Chains A and B, each alone.
Chain A
Amino acid sequence: MGVPARALDYADSFLPGVIPQEAELTAGVRIEPGKSYGFFTDTTLCIGCKACEVACKEWNALPADDLGLKGTSYDNTGSLSANTWRHVAFVEKISGDEGTRVTEMQPFQSNWLMMSDVCKHCHNAPCLEACPTGALFRTEFDTVVVQPDICNGCGYCVPACPFGVVDLSPDDGKAHKCTLCYDRLKGGLEPACAKSCPTDSIQFGEVPDLVERAKARVVDLHAKGARNAYLYGAPDTPGATGGLGHLNAFFLLTDRPEVYNLPTAPTRAANRVEPALTAGLVTMAGLALTAAAVFALAKAGPTGPGRNGEIR
């Protein structure tokens, strides 16, 4: 992305206010209601600096949580939670396919895999479908946001999310997750995590543009020897399964999804309503028929031999 000509209008170090449509200068995209916005996270560019995590916590005033050493990784946040809306996964590939120690370095990132995980803002969001109060809603930017003043803390959204993103806070009893910086989007600002990413591993933009950019990146990586690069969550790719449509926040991965703690084939919880309801109704009908048969037999009386062997 080149430097837009409008950037020259804001060359001073100290500005009088927020730059109108600043995302045009930082991400090359104009933020307008009615369009679909999301993230393309290229994991081959992630260096695990966690600037995105810090920017997210700083902008959203999220407290540091899950304190202490993990003992399993250099990662110090562990997972997404009610207070961690961006999480950089550190995956060290210390053994080969047959349990042997890796002796060859992979192209790009050696034997470390790093991925900045986030809410996927699914096209058909299961959390939104599960919410009984309407606290979860789809914004004018095609993102999914929780309204804490409406959330009643029922927690239905938590198991509905196939990615384990939504979490209930034990402190305020409400569900929390990434808002894709809804307040920043309304102000024409790029989301904090994408803006802070020093390697452009996290790219923000209109989803159709991001998909085209991601496909070109995969072709480029294949040409450079990283034949294992593929998209996860873009339309018609792994991750965009089970009726989810596509993920507005999708990824470029170089290993199996489960290595990054992503489900291989995520599905909507709503897909299971019809078979579950049918199975329940069939079970109830079967039990009712059985009960009716038992009552009918009991009413007809015993038909077997009597106490003394006579036929009654």
Chain B
Amino acid sequence: MRSVEGVIILAQESRFKLVDDAGITKLFVLAHDAPIEPQDLQPLARTQARVAIRYEDTPALIAGIVHGIEYAGRPRSPDYAPSPHISAHTARTRR
């Protein structure tokens, strides 16, 4: 499972675009087991909330399938395991 932090800039139904700290935009789709519903995405996009998401890539889609999403500032759940690359990247941007 991969992870990334960033700001949601656009939401349509259960799909959203997130810009990470490097300025890279990626499209995501909420999985059926995501902790939020499609209607929760619009407020996140409107408030430009910073979120941390856990996702997986799928070979049939150019998008990440989101299984976990939470405010970036909140304590992370025990099963939250960001990839080393993202951790290093996040550490750099937080310095």
User: Are A and B associated in one complex?
Assistant: yes
Q: Enumerate chain A interface residues (CB-CB to B < 8 A).
A: 59-67, 83, 148-149, 153, 169, 171-174, 176
- How distant is B14 from chain A, measured CB to nearest CB, in Å? 5
Q: Known contacts A61-B16, A63-B27, A148-B14: does B61 contact A153 (CB below 8 Å)? A: no
Q: Is B2 an interface residue (CB 8 A)?
A: no
User: Which residue of chain A has its CB nearest to the CB of B56?
Assistant: A171
Residues of chain A lying within 8 A (CB to CB) of residue B39? 149
Is there an interface contact between B12 and A61, defined as CB atoms closer than 8 Å?
Answer: yes
Contact assessment for A63 and B32 in the assembled complex, using a CB-CB cutoff below 8 Å = no
A174→B29 CA distance, assembly (Å) = 12
Beyond the given pairs A67-B61, A149-B39, A172-B30, 20 more chain A to chain B contacts, judged by CB atoms under 8 angstroms and listed by A's residue number, are A62-B12, A63-B27, A63-B61, A63-B62, A64-B61, A64-B62, A65-B60, A65-B61, A65-B62, A66-B60, A67-B59, A67-B60, A83-B61, A153-B32, A169-B29, A171-B29, A171-B32, A171-B61, A171-B65, A174-B14
Question: Which single residue of chain A is at the shortest CB-CB distance from B40?
Answer: A149
In the assembled complex, the CB of A154 is this many whole angstroms from the nearest CB of chain B, namely 13
Does B72 touch A at the CB level, under 8 Å?
no
- How far is it, in angstroms, between the C-alpha of A172 and the C-alpha of B65 when the chains are bound? 9
Q: What are 26 residue pairs bridging A and B, where the CB atoms are less than 8 Å apart in the complex?
A: A60-B15, A61-B12, A61-B15, A61-B16, A61-B17, A61-B27, A62-B12, A62-B15, A63-B27, A64-B61, A65-B60, A65-B61, A66-B60, A67-B61, A83-B61, A148-B13, A149-B37, A169-B29, A171-B31, A171-B61, A172-B14, A172-B29, A172-B30, A172-B31, A173-B32, A176-B13
Q: Which residues of the other chain, B, contact A148 by a CB distance below 8 angstroms?
A: 13-14, 38
Pair count A-B, CB < 8 A:
54
* Residue in chain A with minimal CB distance to B39: A149
A66 to B63, CA, bound (A): 12
Hey, which chain B residues are within 8 Å of A174, CB to CB?
14, 32
Cross-chain contact of A149 among B29, B38, B58 (Cβ < 8 A): B38
B36 to chain A, nearest CB (A): 11
Q: Which residues of A contact B38 (CB under 8 A)?
A: 148-149
Closest to B65 in A: A171
Nearest 6 A/B pairs, CB to CB: A63-B63, A173-B32, A61-B12, A64-B62, A61-B15, A148-B13
Q: Considering the chains assembled together, what is the distance between the CA atoms of A38 and B27 in angstroms?
A: 29
Closest chain A CB from B67 CB (angstroms): 10
Q: Looking across the interface, which residue of chain A has its beta carbon closest to that of B11?
A: A61
Q: A60-B12, A148-B14 are in contact. Are A172 and B60 (CB under 8 A)?
A: no
State whether the Cβ of B10 lies closer than 8 Å to any Cβ in chain A: yes
B37 and A63 contact, CB distance less than 8 A: no
Contacts of A66 in B (CB 8 A): 60
CA A62 to CA B12, docked complex, whole Å:
9
- Chain A residues with Cβ under 8 A from B63's Cβ? 63
Within 8 A of A (CB), among B1-53: 10-17, 27, 29-32, 34, 37-39
Given known contacts A149-B37, A153-B32, A63 and B14 CB-to-CB distance under 8 angstroms = no
Min C-beta distance of A178 to chain B, whole Å: 12
Interface-central residue, A59, A63, A67, A171, by most chain B CB under 10 Å: A171
Instruction: Report the minimum CB–CB distance from A284 to chain B (whole Å).
Output: 38
Q: Are B29 and A63 in contact (CB under 8 A)?
A: yes
Nearest Cβ distance between residue A52 and chain B, in whole angstroms?
A: 17
B62 with A61: CB separation less than 8 A: no
Q: How far is the CB of B7 from chain A (nearest CB, A)?
A: 15
- Chain B residues near A172: list those with CB within 8 A: 14, 29-32, 34
Residue numbers in A under 8 Å from B17 (CB-CB): 61
Residues of the B chain whose Cβ atoms lie less than 8 Å from the Cβ of A176: 13
